[in-house]
Structure 1
Amino acid sequence: MLIPFLIMLREGIEAALIVGIIASYLVQSGRRHLIPAIWIGVLLAAALSLFAGAALQWLSAEFPQKQQEFFEGVVGLVAVAMLTSMVFWMKKSARTLKRRLQDSVEHAVHDHPGSGQGWALIGMVFLAVAREGLESIFFLLAIFQQSRDWAAPLGALAGILVSILIGYGLYSGGVRLDLRRFFRLTGMFILLVAAGLLAGVLRKFHEAGVWNHLQQVVFDLNDTLPMDSPLGTVLSGLFGYQAAPVLGEVIAYVLFLTISLACFLRASTPDTSAGAPTGTAMPAVTSPAASSPASNA
């Protein structure tokens, strides 16, 4: 339940941050009448994400056993790629996100006079939020395939609800959050989760009969820390723990985690050469009623 909650919390805050920046900029620039276009874009993106998730789930159920294992492996591989790209995209775009969104709003408004302004904004918000939604769908499918109870869906729903509350608080100015630290810590956690998913992908491909290499058991902790024990269950749910992992899974886990964490932590080093203060946080979401930052810089 914890992993879906944290992933959806992060994804939801990213989407809320984008929507909040666009909405507050429209209000401050005297374009409050375009606000409904934002909500239409958000609703369309949510509908697309739900439709895509339902279609993929239905498609998976139609496959025979081995093809289903292969399909679940592919879904897991896509989830790993999306989670990793999400972490590094936000890290790279954090400093310029607010300015880039405001520039996009200006282009959408100026290049589409009259009623075209609303459609342009709908398309802009739709693409931004749909990206977050589709990332979430692939991740949740990968997690739901490993957990058949209601804990994972409830955790995901709780993460979405909390992210909506935090997003509104950032927009209204009632919440101050160090977003740089938040995205840094959740980024490292997501890379740990992605490493576990990648090891699980190899397991799925082996069960599907398409990957039969490096299947030697590295160690066996079934007597010491079985997967059905309380701690084993927690470690399996959080980090993809296996009591008796094979060599290919261990190599994939360690190699991915070493490279991704090294790149992420190196990218996290403050860039003082650009003239930005080392304590600069994520772009501030400004309340329509005030110009003070809503995030703790």
Structure 2
Amino acid sequence: MIGALIIALREGLEIALVVVIMLAYLRKSNQSAMNVYVFSGLVLAGITSLLIGGGIVAIWGSVEEVVLEIFEGVLVVIASLLLTTMIVWMKRKGKEISSDIEASIEGKLQTEGRWGLALLSFALVLREGVEIVLFTAALVIREGYQTYIGLTLGLVLAAGIGIGIYRGSLEIRFRTFFKWTSAFLILFAAGMLAYGIHELQEAGFLLIGPLEIWNINPPALPGGAVHPLHEDGFIGGLAKSLFGYNGNPSALEVASYLSYILVMGIYFFKKREKDSVPSVSKDLKDETPSKRL
């Protein structure tokens, strides 16, 4: 649930930033009457994302067990790769978000008018919405339906933060927020990748079978209770949810997990000349007093 909350908070905040930047530009250019088209695109993107999620659920419930294991494994691996592209994109392009969106708004208004603005809002939000759908599906496979609790809390919190930013009552240290959530997401994506490989091995989809290299899961306690450090126990389950902990992994799981962390860790913490940090329009900050969060 915690993993779902953090991912939903980050993805939801990216959606909030897109909407806030668009609304700030319209307010700055005295076109606030067109806000309704931004919200129209937002709502339509949300509905489309839900329909995509419904399609995944329909496929999920209609395939046979063996195919289902392969489907789940492939879905989790795709989600981990998508998470990777998000981390890399934010590292490289995050600082340009505000200027890119404002330039796109100006271009859409000049060439396509108000409906172009709605289409831009739809496209930008849909990208994040599809990511949320895929991540949620992957998390439900791993953690069950408690994922939806974390998802809901994260999105509600992100919406509240977005409203606070737009009204000028909050200002987020985006550099710190995206840095630490990206570091967490590297570990999280590594766990998802390893779990997806585990599912594909169990289904016999990979040529390399699930060769167990160790088993440190504590034995069952008297009465059938699960030890807290077991991967299904409280502490082990939390580590499994956040970092992909597995008490009895295969060699390929461990190799993929460590390789992913090594490659992404080197890339992420490599010093850049200028950090990429998304920002809300400076004009929005200047219009209203803000309080540092």
The two structures have a TM-score, normalised by structure 2, of 0.91
In 2, Cα distance between equivalents of 1:228 and 1:138: 24
Q: Which residue of 2 aligns with 1:275?
A: none
Match of residue 179 from structure 2: 184
Change (3 A) 1:239 1:293: farther
TM-aligned CA deviation for residue 125 of structure 1: 0.7
Structure 1 159/200 Cα, relative in aligned 2: closer, same or farther at 3 Å?
A: same
Gaps in structure 1 of 5+ consecutive residues: 273-277
Contact 2:193-2:257 at 8 Å conserved across structures = yes
Which of 140, 153, 163 in structure 1 is aligned with 2:136? 140
Number of equivalences: 284
Q: How far apart, in 2, do the equivalents of 1:232 and 1:74 lie?
A: 25
For structure 2, the 5+ residue unaligned runs are 220-228
- In the TM superposition, 1:156-175 aligns within 5 A as 156-175=151-170
Could you tell me which residue of structure 2 aligns to residue 271 of structure 1? 273
Q: Tell me whether 1:239 sits opposite 2:243 in the alignment.
A: yes
Q: What is the distance in 1 between the residues matched to 2:53 and 2:210?
A: 32
Structure 2 residue matching 1:174: 3-state secondary structure: coil
Contact 2:201 2:209 in 1 (8 A): no
The alignment status of 1:121 with 2:117, answered yes or no, reads yes
Letter in 2 for 1:248: L
- 1:84 maps to a residue whose letter is T
**Equivalent residue, structure 1, for 2:256:** 252
Whether contact under 8 Å (2:46, 2:126) holds in the other structure is yes
Corresponding residue number in structure 2 for 1:77: 77
* Paired AA for residue 137 in structure 1: V
Q: Which residue of 2 aligns with 1:41?
A: 41
Q: Write the distance in 1 (CA, Å) between the matches of 2:291 and 2:169.
A: 10
1:283 is paired with a residue whose SS is: coil
User: What is the one-letter code of the residue matched to 2:121?
Assistant: V
Q: 1:28 & 1:45 partners in 2: Cα distance? A: 25
Partner of 1:227: 231
In structure 1, what residue type is equivalent to 2:269?
L
Amino acid at match of 2:48: L
The answer to whether the 8 Å contact 1:286/1:292 transfers is: no
What SS does structure 2 have at the residue aligned with 1:221? coil
SS in 2 for 1:96: helix
- State the Cα deviation string for residues 151-203 of structure 1 (Å, max 9, x = none): 21011000000000001111111112100110010001111111011111111
1:163 and 1:209, CA in 2 relative to 1: closer, same or farther beyond 3 A?
Answer: same
Q: Is the 8 A contact 1:222 1:243 kept in 2?
A: yes
Instruction: Tell me if structure 1 keeps the 8 A contact 2:20–2:280.
Output: no
Query: 1:130 corresponds to which residue?
Result: 126
Instruction: Give the Cα–Cα distance (whole angstroms) in 2 for the partners of residues 48 and 42 of structure 1.
Output: 10
For 2:250 and 2:201, the matched residues in 1 are separated by 11
- Offset of residue 270 of structure 1: 4.4
Q: Is the 8 A contact 1:4 1:156 kept in 2?
A: yes
- 1:5/1:41 CA distance change after superposition, 3 Å: same
Partner of 2:212: 217
Match of 2:225 in 1: none
**What is the TM-score when the length of structure 1 is the normalising length?**
0.90
CA–CA distance in 1 between the matches of 2:135 and 2:286?
37
Q: Which moved more, 1:81-90 or 1:56-65?
A: 81-90
Q: Relative to structure 1, is the Cα distance of residues 61 and 22 closer, same or farther in structure 2, using a 3 angstrom cutoff?
A: same
Deviation at 1:291, TM superposition (A): 3.3
Counterpart of 2:199 in structure 1 is 204
Q: Percent identity?
A: 28
